[in-house]
Amino acid sequence: MQVSSYLKVSIAVAVATIVLKTGAWWVSDSVSLLSDALESLVNLAGAMFALMMVTIAARPPDDDHPYGHHKAEYFSSGFEGVLIFAAALAIVWAAVHRLLAPGPLSAVGLGIVLSVVSSAMNGVLAWTMLRKAKVVRSMALEADARHLYTDVWTSVGVVLGLFGVLATGWLWLDPVIAILVALNILREGALLVWRSADGLMDQALEPAVLADIEKVLEDFRHQTIRFDHVVTRSAGQRRFIDLHMHMPAAWSLGRAAAVRAAVEQALMSAVPGLRASIQLLPMDVEAHFDDAKDPL
C-alpha cells in the first residue's frame, strides 16, 4: 500500500475517533476527555496536510525544482507540530477553567469505553504506519504515526486518571490530568518541529547508511583509484551522495566513465533511494573547497 493510502486511512480513523471521543466527553462532561478529543482534531488536520505534502513530494523534477519536491514532507511534520501547540493551549485553557470551578462528572464508565475503543483504533494504525514509514523513509508518515502513538498514551493517561476520580471522588484530578496531557503533547509538538527544521537543513545520512557506502567504495579502491570529498544529504524519501573519484590521467574517457558507472550502480544498489553524483579527476589533481576568496 502506498504512503498516500495510509494517510487516507489515517484521515478516516481520525474522523471516527473524533466522533467517539467527542461522544465520551459529551456523556461524561470530563475536561480530560475533552482534551483527548481536541488532540484527535489535530490528528485529522495533520493527516490531511500530510496527504497534501506527500502528493507534492511525489511530483517529478521540473524546471523550477530540478532536484524534485521531496522536502515537502518536512513541512507536514512542522505543520503538525504547530497544530499540537495550538491544541495544547486550548486544553490548558479548558482545564484551568474547570480547576477553578470544579463540576461533577456523569456516565464516566461509558466515556471510558468510548475512549478505549478509539485508542485501540489509533494504536493499531500507528503501529502499521510507523513500520511503513521506516521502510519508505517517509517523514510525513512517521510524524503522523508518532502523533497517533502520543494520542494513544494520552488516552491511557486520561482513562487511568478517570478511574482515580471514580475511586477517590477527587474532582480536581480531572483538570490536572488534562494539563498533564497538554504538557505531554507540547513535548511531542516540539520534537516534530525540531525534526522538520533539521531535515530542511540537508542532514547527513544515517551512520549505518554511511557504513554501507564506505563498504562499497572500499571494494573499488585501488592504487590507481581513490575517493575523497564524500558528501551526503537526505531530502524526504530521497538520498544523495556527491564525491570525487581520482584515477590515472592516461586512462581514456570511455574507461574512466565505465568505472564511474560501475561505482554509481553499486552505491545505488547498496542504498535504496540513493542518487549518486561522481566527479572524475586525474590522480594528481585536487579540488579546492572553502577558498579564502569565497564569501560563503
For 231-275, what is each residue's pLDDT tens digit? 888 776 678 889 999 999 899 989 999 999 999 999 988 888 788
List the domains of the chain with CATH numbers. Answer: 3-200 (1.20.1510.10), 207-282 (3.30.70.1350)
- Secondary structure of the chain in HEC code, one letter for each residue: CCHHHHHHHHHHHHHHHHHHHHHHHHHHCCHHHHHHHHHHHHHHHHHHHHHHHHHHHCCCCCCCCCCCCCCHHHHHHHHHHHHHHHHHHHHHHHHHHHHHCCCCCCCHHHHHHHHHHHHHHHHHHHHHHHHHHHHHCCHHHHHHHHHHHHHHHHHHHHHHHHHHHHHHCCCCHHHHHHHHHHHHHHHHHHHHHHHHHHHHCCCCCCHHHHHHHHHHHHHHCECCEEEEEEEEEEECCEEEEEEEEEECCCCCHHHHHHHHHHHHHHHHHHCCCEEEEEEEEECCCCCCCCCCCCCC
pTM of the predicted protein model? 0.62
What is residue 246's predicted lDDT score, i.e. its pLDDT?
93
For 113-165, what is each residue's pLDDT tens digit? 888 888 888 888 888 888 887 777 776 777 778 778 777 877 777 777 778 77
Mean pLDDT of 24-38: 77
What is residue 23's predicted lDDT score, i.e. its pLDDT?
86
Compare 20 and 4 and report the one with higher pLDDT: 20
